[in-house]
């Protein structure tokens, strides 16, 4: 008899409704936990990627620091930023030639390109004389350039 009383209680309509509600509530909470677990796993993966990126950046900055401590870097920075030279070196300054500072003022575009081609050839001659004809090198003024 106890078996039949339990059957009638568990299979009655109100009890079945209560059992369905309990299963739905349990399923809701389990689903909620699964969604939260996936979100946490995604955050962990993103943070691990950030860690790898930061470790790589740290390594490159460490290499940069080690390079900045070398004598060659210090000499290069002294030459570029402080205009210093090593003993026995000499500085060669090559002035820029631009059309805005020329006495004739602004020129037409076609005349400008023709003049720059002629100046380029003249600069090549100056460099040739500088490196190969040391005795014949004479200072040239802008008046010697073709206009």
pLDDT digits over 86-108, tens only? Answer: 888 877 778 877 755 555 544 44
Does 141 map to a domain?
yes
For helices 13-68 and 2-10, what crossing angle results, to 10°?
60
User: How far is the CA of 100 from the CAs of 94, 97, 106, 130, in angstroms?
Assistant: 17, 9, 7, 27
Mean predicted lDDT score pLDDT of the chain:
79
pTM: 0.42
Is the pLDDT assigned to residue 136 strictly greater than 60?
Answer: no
Does 81 map to a domain?
no
> Are 102 and 146 found together in one domain?
yes
Does 74 map to a domain?
no
Q: What is the pLDDT of residue 120?
A: 66
- Using CA atoms in the order 58, 59, 61, 62, what is the torsion angle rounded to 10 degrees? 110
Q: What is the pLDDT of residue 12?
A: 86
Least confident of 22-26, 108-112, 117-121, 128-132: 108-112
Does 85 map to a domain?
no
Tokens of 11: 């299979």
More confident site: 41 or 13: 41
Q: Is the dihedral of CA 33, 39, 41, 43 positive or negative?
A: negative
> Are 98 and 135 found together in one domain?
yes
Does 82 map to a domain?
no
More confident site: 146 or 57: 57
> Are 61 and 113 found together in one domain?
no
> Are 10 and 55 found together in one domain?
yes
Does 130 map to a domain?
yes
Does 44 map to a domain?
yes
Rounded distance, CA 129 to CA 125, Å? Answer: 6
Give percent of the chain above pLDDT 90.
37
> Are 98 and 140 found together in one domain?
yes
The last residue of a domain, from among 52, 68, 84 = 68
Average pLDDT rounded to a whole number, residues 2-25:
85
Q: What is the pLDDT of residue 147?
A: 44
Coil, helix or strand for 27?
helix
> Are 7 and 61 found together in one domain?
yes
The number of folded domains in the chain is 2
Residue 28: pLDDT band (50, 70, 90) is very high
**Residue range of the domain that includes 125:** 94-147
Give percent of the chain above pLDDT 70.
71
Does 48 map to a domain?
yes
């Amino acid at each position: 008899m106890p078996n039949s009383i339990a059957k009638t209680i568990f299979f009655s309509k109100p009890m079945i409704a209560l059992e369905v509600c309990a299963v739905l509530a349990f399923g809701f909470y389990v689903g909620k936990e699964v969604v939260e677990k996936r979100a946490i796993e995604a955050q962990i993966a993103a943070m691990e990627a950030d860690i790898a990126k930061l470790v790589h950046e740290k390594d490159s900055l460490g290499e940069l620091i080690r390079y900045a401590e070398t004598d060659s870097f210090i000499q290069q920075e002294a030459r570029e930023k402080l205009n210093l030279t090593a003993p026995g070196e000499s500085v060669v300054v090559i002035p820029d030639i631009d059309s805005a500072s020329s006495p004739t003022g602004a020129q037409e575009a076609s005349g400008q390109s023709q003049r720059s081609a002629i100046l380029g050839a003249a600069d090549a001659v100056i460099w040739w004389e500088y490196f190969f004809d040391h005795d014949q090198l004479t200072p040239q003024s802008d008046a010697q350039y073709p206009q």
